[in-house]
Structure 1
Amino acid sequence: MLLVRRVPFTAAVTFAMLVVAVVSGALWSDAQDASWFSHFGYGLPPLEEGRWWTLFTGPMFAVIPVFYLPMAGGFALLVGFTEWRLGTRRTMAVTIVGQLVSVLGAALFLAVFQGFGWDWADAAGVRVDAGFSGGALVAIAVVSAAVRSPWRLRIRAALCVYVAVSIIYIGTLADLVHFIAVALALPLSGVLVGKRRARRTGAPNKREWRLLAISGLVLVTIAQAVMGLVPRTGPFGPSDVASMSFVEVAILAVGVALIVNWMRRGSRVAWRWAIAVTVASVLAGVVAASLIVLDALGGNPDWTVGVPLFVADSLLWTAELVVLVAARRAFRVHSRRHPLRPGRQHGTTDPAVATRLLGEHGGGSLSWMTTWPENSHFGTADGRSYVAYRKHARVAIGVGDPVAPHGDKARAVHEFVDMCDDTGMVPCLFSVSAETAVIARQLGWQLAQVAEDTLLDLDTLEFRGKKWQDVRSSINRARKEDIEFRLVTLAEQPRSLIAQVRRISDEWVGDKGMPEMGFTLGGVEEALDPRTRVGIAIDADGEVHGVTSWMPVYTGDGKIEGWTLDVMRRRADGFRPVMEFLIASSCLAFQSEGARFVSLSGAPLAKSHREARTPAVEQVMDSLGAMLEPYYGFRSLHAFKAKFMPRYEPLYLAFRDEADLPRIGIALGKAYLPDTGLLDLARCMKSRRHPPRTPAPVAVPQPRGLDLTPDASAVPAPDRPLSPAKLVATSEKRRRRLEFDRRKHSRSAVA
């Protein structure tokens, strides 16, 4: 209903098309063969006979039933999008007037050129057509002026190539209507769109040039194949004079497919092959037309047959050649045998260099992750800045903010994007702060919030008042149960203690029954870094109950003024509030050392509040977070961190446009779960939803007066596992009941 309220004109016309199709029977039989079609379809004959109403009735029909899908569907999509962006009144005016002008323009064109010996004009002048496609194309051509780059260029390029190819190689009355509609609407789109006209962002970048070159090559090749396999008589003559055999079409299609596959990666060799194919096609058309003319000069009167089509075909290939030459700088990815010139090679994969630069310039709360050895490091030309990234599915995922001197982050981002373009990768920046998000916005990129950083200012931190009661209780209870806090370097601890930490981590991963995530989520190996601090909770017997690791936050000149929480692990049967105890104790320890803040890090796909109007990308991420919550508990973790009353700072995913999101999603999945395929992940989720049924417990004799049989209500049903929070609560309830029963039995025995 919301969609209908937003696009009432589109909904009403689409519904009217379907009603007319059912009432007239055109939905299941060919309307063009019906006796009444000439009284309702539009074209030159109805207008010459005074049936002006056909201009309004014709758009409601399709000539054959199968055309209803592209006609009604295309109208709903193109006009619906226009109405969503421009409003109902402007869309109605643009679409209806555009339909009338394009149909009248086509009729006028055919009326002028009839009787001059142009067979195509004579044949098209007696045809009757139907459909609202002219108005729909005018609508999308006009709204393209209100669409931001690069989608504006993509829409306009697609329209121009579509109408050019269809009028040259197919040439029906509908194609003439489409050509006139786009030819008139595109130049006037900036005026017709009004105040909603989008700001221009300059010339196309390398990626857009690649897209234009590839799209033109693909569409012209498809047109060649259609012309070869399905000959037709169009405005430029019959296409059978230039038709190809099936084998020739197959060879052309396979060759172009291989070229396009490497062109999309920016291959220089593929670009050269595309130039060769295009030049050969242009020359073939010119040679064929020349031979026909020479044959005519030798006495053949039909020299005009085939020449216009060859000329038009050569013009299309020439236009593609111009685009390829203009896009030459976008194809710089050389083969492995011929790498980039030394002057164009930047970057380093040495984590030691990244660590040194991070200490010199400082970074954000997540910048220590950029030094992890799994990352690659792109260094700027001056060697003073770098961007850490992971490469998956030909996507370069920038990890956190660029590490750069003050004021040079924008330069690092620009050079990183250029490197990705030169190597055929899709760039994006993951978990970046607002400062880097502003730089991405200046590039025309899009943003989506993926997490929230949770920060505690240690200068004013005091665990006093009612709001800190749970935290104080954990500290007091640890003191009573003789649980000690130690802030250590894990790599320097005895092997027995490290073994306990590993065992706790393995137990934690095993209990989840899901693969352990990586990328921005560290593990024990990262905690063993000598520059990482580790907080452990250990009892008098030397048993470790929980562990947290803290990454340093450099603020420049080698100073560490903050720490970021990374690993959180607890023993299943250990001290229950161990996490509250460890975090609070670590904060007090860092406070005594002079640190200014700590970050509790950000849980992926979780945030503290939802906006009233959430972007579509963030809505998808919210749904994904809800789906993964029973397995990884990101939102539960985020809610747990709220106990410490932090301040929140959003973390963003920055990407060029929505067309990159499918590949970015695949790359992020591989980054977080590098050793887990989609089938493995689906299998794990299915096993958690439907765990194997366990046999009924065997009855064990119990001491009289002491019932240790688990309460049926405290055991989760085998086919509906409890969430982690409910499972912990159930286990605690069960433990308290057993303890109460033991005390009651002891008192009874004494009595």
Structure 2
Amino acid sequence: MARPVTVMRQLPLTVGLVLLVLVMSVVTRGLWQPLGTRPLGSSMAYGLPSFEDGAWWTLVTGSFLALEPVRYLPILVGLALFGGFAEWRLGTGRAGVALAACQVVAVLAAAAVLWASRDHGYLWTTSLADDRDAGPSAAFLGAVAAASVTLSPPWRGRLRAVLVAYVLLFAVHMGALTDLEHVFAVACGLLIGPLLQGRPPQLSARRLTRRDYRLLACGFFVVAAIEAVIENFTTAQGPLAATLSAQARIDELSHRNLVGAVVLALLWLWLARSLYKGRRRAWLWAVGLLTVVIAIQVGNVVWMVVVGEPGLVAASYDLVLNTAGLGLLLVGRRAFRNPSPRRARRTAGSLVAPADDDQRTLATELLAQQGTVNRLAWMTTWPENRWFTTADRAGYVAYRVHAGVAVGLCDPVAAAEPDRAGLLVEFADRVHAQGLVPCLFTVSAEASRHARAQGWHSLQVAEEAVIDLDQLDFVGKAWQDVRTALNQAAKQGIHLDLGPLTDMPRGLQMQVKAISSQWVEDKGLPEMGFTLGGVDEALDPRVRVGLAVDADRTVHGVTSWMPIYGVGGGGPAGWTLDVMRRLPGGFRHSMEFLIASSCLAFRDEGCSTVSLSGAPLARSTGADEGLDRGTLDAFLDRLGATLEPYYGFRSLHAFKAKFQPRTEPLYLVFPDEAALPRIGLALGRAYLPAAGLRDLITLARPVHA
């Protein structure tokens, strides 16, 4: 008895509305006799006919009734769940405002649209204008939309996407008066939600991340799968049937192939799942299939226009939807570069293959077998790269092409120093032969020396923080912050979970993705790449993830560690820090605790080195003191200052000093000083692939005193 009483105290509005609907169903006998077939229904249900008769009270009476007894079950369940959720998140007063406002706006807006559009030759609105409706479904759907403002990303966006997809799909394919009202209810809820929180609505657009493109592509094909099935149940009075007579539409529906629709839906769902994982092959299949479907649909639309065949509205709807899906895939093509699991498991036995997936597999295996001197070299295996290899496959250079520049990433990968020096020369020759400018970014002192021996220039662009684990201890005043983090974590029952993220429980994986999504969305960040990884890179089975987890299995912080393969290969000789994310409002010493605990764990495993990576755009004096670095410095200064409030590169550089690392310079090497402006643009494009050319030119423009 205690639990129902507690619910009644916490959700009095929801409980009261559920009881009121039950009482009204008994008083009107609507719980066992259809209200819509009785004269009482005309005087109590709302709709355009009721308002034209002056029965405005139906706006209130109809909100607590159902026209059919069977409808009371979804109404009561929806009111209890959705209305209860809104009251729990918004509070009783604001939830009441949301429920009332969304119901009134939805009913009146639907009536106004039908009044303005009836008798203009559109079968759907003309027939719908004579209908009446009842029930509070618009109220609780709109209230949920309003309450979504209280959720944190990514759940806020996911809830809104589900609501919008639901109301639009049912409005398009079912087209009942209730479905039209639901569209206006959700729109009203999304609008007034921020107002109930004391701030105006904000329609802000941010650049889509790789994960956003994958989720949108996945969502598109999930919706397509749902439509493939529910099109078999589309009503004859729906908006897509507007150009057909009711009987012709019914005849068409009777010949639909439900089995074929289910098969097509399963295909779309397979594509949705694979696109969510960023599979390159799935992207190719999706683009190919949509291209064929669009070509067929264009032919159908042209034929219908020429011969006047009915069904133009439905055909045009499908064409527009599929064209939007294809456009999304093409614009977000960079987000779909992951190989299939079968290809990812291939060994170096298949050396010669032109596909990117095979080249990436080869690069990963060469790095593990040959090793290199650059502790950041695991970044060269990321799928956005291209790979230049010599004829004997002794090593490779990872690079990307932007603004006419082939930007190499890290040192050449090979076991022997002469091979690494030779790779640099061969890479430069091949790049020059294709009319591009070569350069290598974040290379070690060794590669800088090799480049200068070839007459190239070398500039320091970052500093790498390196911890020698055999000398690691946390004794002395300098380690006070680290000891505090470890002690506080122990007091709060927070421990380290260290291992591949793919092997961790599903619940922990979801929390990691949620923390990363919130970090991106709340700050309105442009997604950066190149030398900065994210959750996608952390999901690689060879990458280890450190989680700060409390006794309730709540993740307070996340770090990811890339393997270091020293010269000669073998197992990882150490680990390099990549991702750093903290739960907002969580354990505030998460990063210090995670880095210190991980270092101790790596030392106990026999590793010799941990790299805290290089802080991009945070650097010291250039190695070539006689070189005019003005243009590049201007670019790096502007880019660093612009992104510092979001990413904190320079403050991150200072944070790493807590771990008493030694620093080693990282360089940019290039053959011609005159190419610095173009190299600046290329680096900007590499870090900010979605930025416009004007933005990059502005960043690269020198600052004049």
Q: Give the counterpart of 2:186 among 174, 182, 201.
A: 182
Q: Which amino acid aligns with 1:174?
A: T
- 1:621-663 CA deviation, whole Å, 9 max, x = no partner? xxxxxxxxxxxxxxxxxxxxxxxxxxxxxxxxxxxxxxxxxxx
1:121 and 1:166 mapped to 2: Cα distance? 15
Alignment match, 2:18: 14
Find the residue that maps to 2:339 and give its secondary structure. Answer: coil
Alignment match, 2:402: none
Alpha-carbon contact 1:359-1:556 (below 8 Å) kept: no
1:53 and 1:108 mapped to 2: Cα distance? 17
Q: CA RMSD in A?
A: 5.0
2:194 and 2:320 mapped to 1: Cα distance? 28
- 1:68-104 CA deviation, whole Å, 9 max, x = no partner? 3332222222232222222222221122022111101
Find the residue that maps to 2:172 and give its secondary structure. Answer: helix
- Structure 1 gaps of 5+ residues are 297-302, 368-385, 400-409, 456-519, 521-525, 533-550, 558-751
Q: Give the counterpart of 2:547 among 429, 432, 448.
A: 429
Q: Give the counterpart of 1:262 among 264, 270, 274.
A: 274
Alpha-carbon contact 1:168-1:312 (below 8 Å) kept: no
Deviation at 1:132, TM superposition (A): 1.1
Q: Give the counterpart of 1:277 among 289, 295, 310.
A: 289
1:41 lines up with 2:45 in the alignment: yes
1:74 lines up with 2:78 in the alignment: yes
Larger radius of gyration: 1
Q: Which amino acid aligns with 2:307?
A: D
Q: How many residues matched?
A: 431
Alignment match, 1:56: 60
Alignment match, 2:109: 105
- 1:585-643 CA deviation, whole Å, 9 max, x = no partner? xxxxxxxxxxxxxxxxxxxxxxxxxxxxxxxxxxxxxxxxxxxxxxxxxxxxxxxxxxx
Flag the structure with more relative contact order, 1 or 2, with Cα contacts below 8 A and sequence separation at least 6: 2
1:41 and 1:281 mapped to 2: Cα distance? 44
Q: Which amino acid aligns with 1:282?
A: I
Alpha-carbon contact 2:225-2:266 (below 8 Å) kept: no
1:228 and 1:132 mapped to 2: Cα distance? 28
Change (3 A) 1:61 1:552: same
1:345 and 1:200 mapped to 2: Cα distance? 40
Q: Which amino acid aligns with 2:285?
A: W
Alpha-carbon contact 1:142-1:193 (below 8 Å) kept: no
1:154 lines up with 2:158 in the alignment: yes
Change (3 A) 1:88 1:168: same
Alpha-carbon contact 1:164-1:179 (below 8 Å) kept: yes
2:240 and 2:205 mapped to 1: Cα distance? 38
Find the residue that maps to 1:341 and give its secondary structure. Answer: helix
1:57 and 1:279 mapped to 2: Cα distance? 51
- Structure 2 gaps of 5+ residues are 344-356, 377-465, 475-481, 486-496, 513-527, 561-576, 612-705
Q: Which amino acid aligns with 2:284?
A: R
1:341 lines up with 2:360 in the alignment: yes
- 1:83-142 CA deviation, whole Å, 9 max, x = no partner? 222222222112202211110111111111222222211211111111112222222222
Deviation at 1:276, TM superposition (A): 3.0
Deviation at 1:307, TM superposition (A): 0.7
Alignment match, 1:4: 8
1:258 and 1:76 mapped to 2: Cα distance? 34
Alpha-carbon contact 1:265-1:423 (below 8 Å) kept: no
Alignment match, 2:500: 389
- 1:563-587 CA deviation, whole Å, 9 max, x = no partner? xxxxxxxxxxxxxxxxxxxxxxxxx
Give matches, 1:584-603, under 5 Å: none
Q: Which amino acid aligns with 1:323?
A: L
Alignment match, 2:144: 140
Change (3 A) 1:196 1:170: same
1:166 lines up with 2:170 in the alignment: yes
1:9 and 1:555 mapped to 2: Cα distance? 60
Alignment match, 2:300: 288
Alignment match, 2:223: 219
Q: Which amino acid aligns with 2:537?
A: M
1:312 lines up with 2:423 in the alignment: no
2:201 and 2:315 mapped to 1: Cα distance? 39
Change (3 A) 1:92 1:345: farther
Give matches, 1:536-685, under 5 Å: none
2:80 and 2:37 mapped to 1: Cα distance? 26
Alpha-carbon contact 2:548-2:557 (below 8 Å) kept: no
Alignment match, 1:417: 535
Change (3 A) 1:313 1:63: farther
2:542 and 2:44 mapped to 1: Cα distance? 53
Give matches, 1:129-528, under 5 Å: 129-195=133-199, 203=207, 205-237=209-241, 238=244, 244-296=256-308, 303=309, 305-335=310-340, 336-337=342-343, 338-339=357-358, 341=360, 358-359=469-470, 388-389=499-500, 391-392=502-503, 415=533, 417-420=535-538, 429-431=547-549, 443=581, 445=583
Change (3 A) 1:6 1:119: same
1:320 and 1:256 mapped to 2: Cα distance? 12
Deviation at 1:174, TM superposition (A): 0.7
Q: Which amino acid aligns with 1:249?
A: A
Deviation at 1:280, TM superposition (A): 3.6
Alpha-carbon contact 1:148-1:198 (below 8 Å) kept: no
Change (3 A) 1:422 1:274: farther
Change (3 A) 1:42 1:172: same
Give the TM-score normalised by structure 1.
Answer: 0.49
Alpha-carbon contact 2:14-2:80 (below 8 Å) kept: yes
Q: Which amino acid aligns with 1:341?
A: R
- 1:683-737 CA deviation, whole Å, 9 max, x = no partner? xxxxxxxxxxxxxxxxxxxxxxxxxxxxxxxxxxxxxxxxxxxxxxxxxxxxxxx
Q: Which amino acid aligns with 2:236?
A: R
Deviation at 1:13, TM superposition (A): 0.9
Q: Percent identity?
A: 28
1:231 and 1:289 mapped to 2: Cα distance? 22
- More off after superposition, 109-118 vs 332-341: 332-341
2:112 and 2:200 mapped to 1: Cα distance? 33
2:154 and 2:198 mapped to 1: Cα distance? 20
Change (3 A) 1:325 1:236: same
Alignment match, 1:589: none
Change (3 A) 1:196 1:45: closer
Deviation at 1:170, TM superposition (A): 1.3
Find the residue that maps to 2:547 and give its secondary structure. Answer: strand
Alpha-carbon contact 1:387-1:416 (below 8 Å) kept: no
Deviation at 1:556, TM superposition (A): 9.1
Deviation at 1:49, TM superposition (A): 1.1
Change (3 A) 1:124 1:211: same
1:434 and 1:120 mapped to 2: Cα distance? 53
Give matches, 1:651-730, under 5 Å: none
- 1:205-247 CA deviation, whole Å, 9 max, x = no partner? 4334323322221123212321135553312325665874234
Deviation at 1:553, TM superposition (A): 12
Deviation at 1:359, TM superposition (A): 3.5
Change (3 A) 1:157 1:61: same
- More off after superposition, 327-336 vs 339-348: 339-348
Q: Which amino acid aligns with 2:533?
A: E
Give the TM-score normalised by structure 2.
Answer: 0.51
2:108 and 2:359 mapped to 1: Cα distance? 56
1:85 lines up with 2:97 in the alignment: no
Deviation at 1:51, TM superposition (A): 1.2
Give matches, 1:108-127, under 5 Å: 108-127=112-131
2:505 and 2:132 mapped to 1: Cα distance? 50
